[in-house]
Amino acid sequence: MFKGHYRSLSDETRMTCSTIIRSCFSPRPLKKYYAMAVVLPLVLIGCGDEEKAAVPKADIGAGKSLAESQCAGCHGVDGKGAAPGIPNMAAQVERYLVESLLAYKAGKRTHAALRDMTAQLSDSDIRNVAGYYTGLAPLTAATAKEMKEILSPYEKGKAAAVACVECHSEDGNSKIAGTPSLAGQQPLYFAAAVRAYLAGARSKASMEMLRKLTTVDVQSLALFYASQAPAQRAAPKDGNPAVGEPLSARCGGCHGAQGVSTDSATPSLAGQDAKYLVNAIKAYRDRSRQHSVMLDTNSDEEIKNIAAFYAVQESKAAEGEEMTAQALGEKCDRCHGPGVENSAMAIPKISGQDKAYLIKAMRAYHDGKRGSSLMHNMSLPYSELLIESVASLYAAQPAR
Ligand code: HEC
Ligand code: HEC
Ligand code: HEC
Ligand code: HEC
């Protein structure tokens, strides 16, 4: 019944309704459903009133001629994007095609060629061409080549970490004095530390190897290590944890209770190698490493004790579960999965979509260049990694 209502609306009412419906999907799940419960019925009542203003059906023949003369060069007559970065449109959700064309026309979505083209299209042209592309058979075989490339974020990190095993151990719990454990470490801090070595703000000959890593590599390593369980350490020979404990009072506000950080940009100190902690704190004191607070009041003796205190604390992994492309996909499928064409919102099909286009679209959401707050929730420390993984997953799925 909802579908019928929706189809019969004027373009303007439809945009307004969809905006309200979309705005219900705030990042906070509880608020979201509450807002849905309150707002959605109002929207439905409001939208239902316009039912009488009937909209003519799409003229598929007219849509086909329009597509052949103006769109086929890029979107194909079969709805297949002619080059990477151009979306496939065969069997796409009709209402979504209409809405995106209206969004280009209204300047809400920006793309120079489409703005100029849609400026020339009437509402019925838009309806017809959308109807034409929706009616085409889904593209199937063409995406097979993408099948090999599915990236599982966690597996990718695990593979990259092979280069680090010699010093940081297989699970990131280092056993070499002076070499930090990476297990359970906070991901934004991890990425910042790698950047600091690359920028020369922290120097260590052994870290030269980090130069080869791409952003996606660094994020996948951050994810892999953040998901490893930190081991408990025995008390170091130097330093007294009991004496160090009161000295840590100034640190807990940022580094968390007992050194277990809950902030992605602040490192956990719990369970860290004591010698590494001593070196790091002294490096801040000597200004060879920058820190947001002054640590230079500590004597060498105090530093040893504070390091001993943190070294023996039990830590906790920053990332809970192992993240796979499939697990992510299940979250996306709540909206983009089977039945998407019957949704109350204009939601596109993304299975079998062009991979380069998917990456472009998700980056645009992430960077705030394409509005749709509900698409912004890709967790930040891994955004590039997740975008690539999920794009490869959907590009490899058969189109529906
Ligand atoms: C010069 C190449 C070109 C031509 C010609 C062209 N498009 Fe596109 N189209 C694109 C590109 C590139 C995008 C992706 C733009 C973006 O990132 O927003 C796109 C996006 C779209 C979208 C949004 C799809 C989605 O999944 O969000 C629709 C709908 C669309 N085009 C319809 C048309 C129609 C209808 C025509 C003919 C009237 C047309 N296009 C002609 C290149 C073209
Ligand atoms: C040859 C031994 C060695 C190898 C191999 C090595 N590291 Fe290290 N790594 C170290 C040492 C030693 C330090 C501490 C340097 C310092 O005091 O700044 C360190 C520090 C780090 C830090 C900073 C940790 C913190 O708590 O600030 C990160 C991040 C890191 N390494 C990542 C990696 C990654 C990723 C790899 C593999 C691609 C790797 N390392 C390979 C020896 C190594
Ligand atoms: C205002 C917040 C704040 C306070 C207070 C603070 N820290 Fe930090 N600490 C940070 C941040 C942020 C970093 C990461 C800095 C960087 O990128 O080098 C850091 C880094 C460190 C590191 C490096 C860890 C590693 O893995 O390389 C050590 C060691 C450290 N702090 C110890 C301490 C101690 C000891 C105290 C208390 C005496 C303290 N910090 C107080 C915010 C704080
Ligand atoms: C709550 C519902 C919802 C969820 C969950 C959701 N999406 Fe979306 N998605 C939408 C809507 C609505 C749009 C259309 C927004 C617009 O017009 O820009 C969209 C658009 C997109 C597009 C643009 C497609 C195109 O043709 O331009 C991509 C790509 C996308 N989503 C990927 C994802 C991924 C990946 C996930 C999981 C991490 C996800 N979405 C989760 C509702 C959702």
Q: What is the pLDDT of residues 51-75, one digit of tens each?
A: 445 667 899 999 999 999 999 999 9
Among 69-73, 109-113, 181-185, whose mean pLDDT is lowest? 109-113
What pLDDT does 277 receive? 96
Q: For residue 12, is pLDDT > 50? A: no
Type of residue found at 141: A
Whether 286 contacts 260, CB under 8 Å: no
> Does CATH place domain 153-311 in 1.10.760.10?
yes
Ordered DSSP codes for 156-220 = HHHHHGGGGHHHH-TTS---STTS---TT--HHHHHHHHHHHHTTSS--GGGGGGGG--HHHHHH
Domains 60-150+324-396 and 153-311 share a fold: yes
Does ligand 3 come within 6 angstroms of the Cβ of 255?
yes
Instruction: Say whether pLDDT at 149 is over 80.
Output: no
Tell me which of 15-24, 78-87, 197-206, 268-277 is least confident. 15-24
For the 60-150+324-396 domain, the top CATH level (class) is mainly alpha
131 lines ligand 2 (CB under 6 A): no
Q: How far apart are alpha carbons 262 and 256 in whole angstroms? A: 6
Find the residues whose C-beta lies inside 6 A of ligand 4: 25, 87, 328, 331-332, 334-336, 345, 347-348, 350, 358, 361-362, 370, 372, 374-375, 390
- Tell me the mean pLDDT in the region 143-166: 78
pTM above 0.85, yes or no: no
Q: Token pair of 203, please?
A: 């120097």
Classify 376 as helix, strand or coil.
coil
Residues 6+ apart with CB under 8 A from 193: 202, 267
Percent of the chain with pLDDT over 90: 57
Q: Per residue in 80-92, pLDDT tens?
A: 999 999 999 999 9
Q: What is the pLDDT of residues 276-304, one digit of tens each?
A: 999 999 988 888 888 777 566 689 999 99
Domain boundaries, the chain: 2-48, 60-150+324-396, 153-311
291 ligand 3 Cβ < 6 A: yes
> Rounded to whole angstroms, what are the CA distances from 262 to 251, 269, 340?
13, 11, 37
- Listed range (47-51, 308-312, 361-365) with the worst mean pLDDT: 47-51
